[in-house]
Structure 1
């Protein structure tokens, strides 16, 4: 299992809407998350900095392939079209990233 953390900004004008839509994530999006071997997926909000921190546990054997399958899913693409305009990617992210990946520095079970 891999533990993955990532961070992105959020437009403060969209925080209420972001919370609203994530209180009722589309069932097909949730199915795709599970099919992509993702478990324990959580998004945290930090105000007043307006940062979203995502954490999930990957239980598959080919993260790149599972993420490509997710990105190719039409319903997930539609979900992202709703979410992405609300998000503000960090300038320091690696080229090609939307959410900036984070280095794990500590974990205790």
Structure 2
């Protein structure tokens, strides 16, 4: 299992919309994540800095293939079309990242 943390900004005027979308996350999105071996996925909001922190656990063996399986789904692209306008990617993110990955520095079971 691999623990993954990520961060992205959010437009303050679209926070309520982002919350509304995630309060009624489409079952097909959840099923796609589960099929890609993603578990324990959470998104936290930090105000007034307007940051989203995401955490998930990856339980698969081929991360690249599983992430491709998610991004190849039409339902995912439609979901991203709604969520992405709410987000503000960090200028310091790595090439190819939308959410900026974070390094795990401490974990306690």
What is the SS of the residue equivalent to 2:76? helix
Residues 15-94 of structure 1 mapped to structure 2, 5 A cutoff = 15-94=15-94
> Which structure 1 residue ranges, 5 or more long, are not aligned?
none
**Structure 1, residues 7-33: CA drift from partner, whole Å, max 9, x if none?**
000000000010011001001011001
User: TM-score w.r.t. structure 1 length?
Assistant: 0.99
Match of 1:105 in 2: 105
* Aligned-residue CA RMSD (Å): 0.4
Aligned pairs, number: 109
CA distance in 2, matches of 1:36, 1:78: 18
1:88 CA displacement: 0.1
What is the SS of the residue equivalent to 2:91? coil
> Which structure 2 residue ranges, 5 or more long, are not aligned?
none
User: TM-score w.r.t. structure 2 length?
Assistant: 0.99
